[in-house]
């Protein structure tokens, strides 16, 4: 009986560790939005839920949202389904800036 309890505790601990490791190695979107100069032109990995998708001829992007903010992800890959959770690596770029308004995007798989 004691052996079974130890195995159950070990399995429970492994499940919690696996869930905690999901966010390791990712950058919070809010960090990118708060300090765009620190991330501009740099490769980052973000993860979150796809909230919007857009495709028009050669332009394809989706909006990715985590608990800290949202960012548009420009891609040449097939678009993920709305509502799915994805992890994306790309280069942070400024799409445009007008006055104090700025649109940052993540170019998936982009090169510096």
Per residue in 51-82, pLDDT (tens digit) is 999 998 888 999 999 999 999 999 999 999 99
- The closest alpha carbon to 74, from 108, 112, 35, belongs to 108
- What is the reported pLDDT for 77? 92
Non-local CB neighbours of 78 within 8 Å, separated by 6+ positions: none
- What is the reported pLDDT for 105? 84
Which residues of the chain have a pLDDT value below 50?
19, 22
Would you call 46 helix, strand, or coil by DSSP?
strand
- What is the reported pLDDT for 14? 54
- What is the reported pLDDT for 103? 75
Strands 85-98 and 69-74: unpaired
- What is the reported pLDDT for 24? 61
């Amino acid at each position: 009986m004691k052996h079974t309890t130890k195995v159950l505790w070990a399995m429970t601990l492994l499940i919690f560790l696996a869930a905690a490791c999901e966010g390791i190695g990712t950058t919070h979107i809010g960090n990118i939005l708060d300090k765009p100069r620190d991330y501009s032109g740099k490769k980052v990995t973000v993860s979150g839920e796809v909230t919007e998708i857009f495709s028009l001829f050669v332009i394809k992007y989706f909006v990715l949202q985590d608990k800290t903010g949202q960012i548009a992800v420009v891609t040449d890959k097939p678009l993920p389904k709305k509502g799915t959770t994805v992890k994306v690596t790309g280069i942070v770029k400024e799409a445009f800036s007008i006055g104090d308004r700025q649109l940052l995007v993540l170019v998936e798989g982009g090169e510096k």
